[in-house]
Chain A
Amino acid sequence: MTKLVTPDEAVATLESGMTLGIGGWGSRRKPMSLIRALLRSNVTDLTVVTYGGPDVGLLCAAGKIRKLVYGFVTLDSIALEPHFRAARQGGTIPHVVEYDEGMLQWGLYAGSLRLPFLPTRAGLGSGVIDVNPDLKLVTSPYDDREELLAVPAIRMDACFVHMNRSDARGNSQYLGPDIYFDDLFLSATDIGHRFVSCEKVVATESLLDEGSFHTLRINRSMVDGVVESPNGAHFTSCEPDYDRDESFQTEYATAARDPETWHSFVNTYLAGSEADYQEAVRAR
């Protein structure tokens, strides 16, 4: 059974108020075509869970985030995401849950294993505990009786990740240096709205043409919809298909500094369809 859908069809299944997990890391292999489709939709009031990059920036700028659960928000080669920075300093994200990077992994892993929490030392004694008073400690039941941080499980209603290759049923492949935590994001999401966009949909028998079996970390039971989206991670990196578009990222970050230049950036790149976006990028 094929699971192929367009970015807009995927987003049309979402509802306002949902918890959305977004794969990738900073400005690396982000499901940007799905984020752009989300920007075109009326879906809002989202809880977003991610290792953030321009996905978070764009959703902040569009006022779609009610709650943000994050390990960081960065553009990598530009240390601070400008829209995120403005939103934090302006106090416009109603609820922020900032975790240590490893704590976020642990929350996702607990969620994917259907456990209520996983214990760790990461976060103990730090400001993360001071600013997240809901976090609880747990005492080891063994002789050491050590007090540890219980990172609560994170479960999501919907999830977007971007891969290099997929087949039409959702078996998916990353060909770059790091899967990041994309498998955990998918596994910690309820069945129904788990979307993988990819550079290219290939026949199942071709999945091993470009990478070893070690690259097949996402199987079809983890995926509800497949979106073929060439250049879909643009302007973030999607190695080895393409590197980050640094000059475009600089244009994005520069435009984001001022409402007027941002308005013009939106008109040039984000006012139309995904095809219009890709055309505008090619025409630069």
Chain B
Amino acid sequence: MPAEPRLADVIAIACAEAFRGNGEIFGSGMGIMPMLGARLARATFEPDLMVSDGVAFYVDGDLPIGSSDKTVESWIPFRQVFDSLWGGRRHVMMGASQIDRFGNTNIANIGPHNQPKVQLLGVRGGPGNTINHDVSFWIPKHSTRVFVESVDMASGVGYDRAARLSKWVQANHRLPRVVTNLAVLDFETEGNTMQVRSLHPGVTIDEVNEATGFELAVAETLAESRAPTDEEMAAIERLDPGELRYREIPN
């Protein structure tokens, strides 16, 4: 019998759900929960999804987090990562140090770019990712420090910035989900501003609003984030035998 699901397991499912319906594209997760999400989606309801070892290979079957005992199904060196992402055949779930109501994100720097107060990762692939394919976000600590009125540097393009670009960009730009330790959010509103889609068990809408530095919409269908099924819970245990998810999200 699989163990009783905890918060980290609900979040793993929420991350996996971001990839539902993606089919035969590269499902790429940056960090433990997103990586677990992509691999969990592939192990359960999204069997055609392609996942990598984070080095240079697509892997077949279940690859537990932290394991290198892999079955290579293809090769994906960085040049082909860029080709696949510019070709739109990819969905990334990544972190963000700041995010605003339109989904502009910042992983680059806090303070001015010419001399940052804090140098973070830099823009990395964020600009190219967000303009070419689906990008979802995982925010482990939902707070007003992260959910801000405006980002210091737009390493990722949000809906208001995309709306000023070409018709092609507007048709292809999509930020499917923002998963946090409190809730699941999306941009499926009229003006593409952020809304709460579901609350994790025990979390209230007031708590989410208090932890957010701008006004959130609330989905008419607001629900509780779902728990994994027994089959999904077994897959989570298989994919994260070292229980790294509980270290990232203690109950």
Contacts and interface: CB of A to CB of B under 8 A. Distances in A.
Interface of A: 25, 70-74, 79-80, 84-85, 88-91, 96, 98-103, 105, 120-128, 130-131, 144, 146-147, 177-181
A126 B131 contact: yes
B122 A124 contact: no
A74 B120 CA distance: 10
Interface residues of B, number: 45
B166 A91 contact: no
Interface in B45-60: 55-57
The 7 A-B pairs with the shortest beta carbon distances in the complex, nearest first, are A122-B128, A126-B127, A177-B56, A91-B115, A178-B77, A100-B127, A127-B154
A99 B169 CA distance: 19
Given A102-B82, A125-B162, A126-B161, A131 B153 contact: yes
B223 interface: no
Contacts of A177: 55-57, 75, 77
Interface of B: 55-57, 75, 77-79, 82, 85-86, 106, 108-109, 113-128, 130-132, 153-157, 161-162, 164-169
Given A88-B109, A98-B123, A131-B113, A126 B168 contact: no
A88 B115 contact: yes
Contact of A178 (B56, B127, B132): B56
B135 to A, nearest CB: 12
14 contacts: A72-B122, A80-B119, A89-B119, A90-B115, A98-B123, A100-B128, A120-B86, A123-B131, A124-B165, A125-B154, A128-B123, A130-B154, A177-B75, A179-B77
Contacts, number: 132
A103 B129 CA distance: 11
Interface centre among A74, A123, A127 (most CB of B within 10 A): A127
A126 B165 contact: no
B67 to A, nearest CB: 16
A80 B128 contact: no
Contacts of A180: 77-78
Nearest to B157: A125
B122 A127 contact: no
A95 to B, nearest CB: 10
Contacts of A89: 115-119
A130 B104 CA distance: 14
Contacts of B169: 121, 124-125
A123 B109 CA distance: 16
Contacts of A70: 122
A73 B161 contact: no
A147 B123 CA distance: 22
Contacts of A130: 113, 153-154
A125 B153 contact: no
Contacts of B166: 146-147
A72 B113 contact: no
Contact of A128 (B56, B82, B86, B127): B127
Given A98-B113, A98-B123, A131-B153, A126 B77 contact: no
B123 A100 contact: yes
Contacts of B168: 121, 144, 146
Contacts of B124: 71-72, 100-101
B77 A122 contact: no
Contacts of A99: 123
A159 B161 CA distance: 37
B113 A126 contact: no
B127 A103 contact: yes
Contacts of B165: 124-125, 147
Contacts of B156: 126
A126 B85 contact: no
